Amino acid sequence: MNITILGGAGLMGAGIVRDLLSDRAIVPIETVRVCDASPERMDALKAELGDARIATFPLDVTDDSRLAEALAGADICINAVPTLLGHQMRIFEAALSARVPYVDLGGLGVFTVKQIAEHARFEAAGVTAVVGVGSDPGMSNVLCRAVADELDTIDRINLYWAAELEGPENPVLVPPYSISTVLAEYAQPSTQFLDGRHVECAPLTGTEEIELPAPWGRCSFMYSPHSEQLTVPLAEGIREKGIREFTWKLHLPHREHEAWVGLVKAGFGVNNDPVTVGGVSVKPLDVLSAVISRNIAENRDRIPEQQGSEIHFAIGRGTRGGKPATVRCEVVITPDPLYDGYVDAGTSMNASIAAQLILAQPKRPGVFAPESYFDVPSYMRELEKRHFKVRTTVED
């Protein structure tokens, strides 16, 4: 199989490359074409991994001819270009034109509805696209399908993600992923599915306290913009069961939470229109990103070793066998030597799993969210191969 990864030398893309070339591969990998705007990052990744199957390809995704060349001959396109850069629909359409199966990492649901609306065009062209295939969204959607399949009728499904860090206090603010994404999660309104319909909810609302085991402890969750709530309650096999509520809530590490709240209060993430400073027009997020990156670089010797753990869980309530039932499906990711070298093993490994499952099985043309495409048992087996702890419980 020949796989093209756009943004393949970025934080998430590099992790996807690692998993594809590992001994966990589901399908035989002949070539991984790493396409990126940074030749330096591509060369560094190739040198680090030392795998002859890596082919580097300098790419500006706004260059249509180069984009078409990057997709030529590919068995699948993995779009790991940061969603909030605004290139998602361009790449999505390029994959359709090239008749190449497509996956992306989602990105707060910014383009999800537009992409799903193109289902008929992709189906007619015989092209498969599955959108939002990281950990959240992606794996989280599959957890929701696992919950839904255990229930005969569904009242509600509530989806949660919590991250926590163990170790000395970090004197440096280190974002868990893209700064623009974190601030959007904190500053932008979200769409939730409440009382049988989609409604817009204000940022930092929907707060809910849940007691979790160590290392998380008592966590405060909040509504956040994501794509799962846009697709799961409308999915075939879920909507017919009468679902009236679906929510997605976030908890970032206790120590960093207040920093992000403070930045939002200061205006970051709310409006990124340029401001004039000393006669120069600059975008607030560009300045913030540059300052944080510089601070990390200048203080690397002060950044302590911290172990990150995350838990993804969906709780479904409804009926089973004519009786009230609660189903919980969770995936726990704790420190493991397998994840060395990954910035975010959860997101990277899940994108690799999704792409390979599409290649390993007969393809279904059209545009799908993960809960409408993947077989739950096959997906869960791949998670366990990567040392993710999967558990489903049913309480009647």
| pLDDT at 255 (0 to 100) | 80
Contacts of 109 (CB under 8 A, 6+ apart): 132, 137, 191, 225, 226, 227, 228, 229, 230
The position carrying tokens 């910035």 is 343
- pLDDT bucket at 13, cuts 50 / 70 / 90: very high
Could you report the per-residue pLDDT of 176-192, keeping only the tens digit for each?
A: 888 888 999 999 999 99
> Which of 360, 363, 310 is CA-nearest to residue 335?
310
pLDDT recorded at residue 146: 98
CA dist., res. 226 & res. 277, Å (int):
33
CB 126 within 8 A of CB 365: yes
**Alpha carbon separation from 350 to 20, 85, 125, 241 (Å, rounded):** 11, 22, 26, 28
pLDDT of 351 reads 98
Vertex 16: Cα angle to 387 and 231 (nearest 5): 85
Q: Which domains does the chain have, with CATH numbers?
A: 2-135+344-364 (3.40.50.720), 139-342+389-395 (3.30.360.10)
Report CA Rg, the chain: 21
Nearest to 125 by CA among 363, 375, 392, 393: 363
pLDDT at position 82? 87
What's the mean pLDDT when you consider all of the chain?
95
153-166 vs 218-223, strand pairing mode: unpaired
Cα–Cα nearest to 347, from 96, 134, 152, 77: 134
Asked if the model's pLDDT at residue 318 lies above 80, the reply is yes
Look at residue 178 in the predicted model and tell me its pLDDT: 80
Percent over 70 (pLDDT), the chain? 100
Q: Give the whole-number percent of the chain exceeding pLDDT 90.
A: 91
DSSP characters over 177-222: S-HHHHHHHHHS-EEEEETTEEEEE-TT-S-EEEE--TTT-EEEEE
What pLDDT does 259 receive? 94
Which pLDDT score is estimated for 11?
87
DSSP assignment string, 126-185: T-EEE---BTTTBHHHHHHHHHHHT-SEEEEEEEEEEEEEESSPPSS---SS-HHHHHHH
The pLDDT of residue 268: 93
Q: Please check whether residue 203 is in contact with residue 189, taking contact to mean a CB–CB distance below 8 angstroms.
A: yes
- Alpha-carbon span 153 to 349, nearest angstrom: 32
pLDDT in tens, 300-312: 999 998 889 999 9
pLDDT tens digits, one per residue of 31-52: 999 999 999 999 999 999 999 9
Decide if pLDDT at 246 tops 80.
yes
pLDDT of residue 148: 98
CA distance 200 to 191: 4
Alpha-carbon torsion (369, 55, 360, 126), positive or negative: positive
pLDDT digits (tens, 9 = 90+) for 195-235: 999 999 999 999 999 999 999 999 999 999 999 999 999 99
Quote the DSSP letter at residue 4.
E
The SS3 of residue 39 is helix
Distance CA 119, CA 368 (A): 7
Q: Are the C-beta atoms of residues 15 and 345 closer than 8 Å to each other?
A: yes
Evaluate if residue 7 carries a pLDDT over 90: yes
Q: What is the pLDDT of residues 234-244, one digit of tens each?
A: 999 999 999 99
DSSP-H helix ranges across the chain: 11-20, 39-49, 64-71, 88-98, 112-116, 119-125, 139-149, 179-187, 228-231, 254-265, 284-298, 345-360, 376-385
For 66-111, write each residue's pLDDT tens digit.
999 999 999 999 999 988 788 999 999 999 999 999 999 987 788 9
CA distance readout (Å), 324 to 85, 146, 155, 317, 319? 45, 17, 10, 8, 4
pLDDT band at 173 (very low <50, low <70, confident <90, very high): very high
Residues 332-342: tens digit of each pLDDT? 999 999 999 99
Q: What are the pLDDT digits (tens) for 121-170?
A: 999 999 999 999 999 999 999 999 999 999 999 999 999 999 999 999 89
> Residue 55 in 3-state DSSP?
strand
In whole angstroms, give the CA distance from residue 153 to residue 306: 42
**Dmax of the chain from CA atoms?**
69
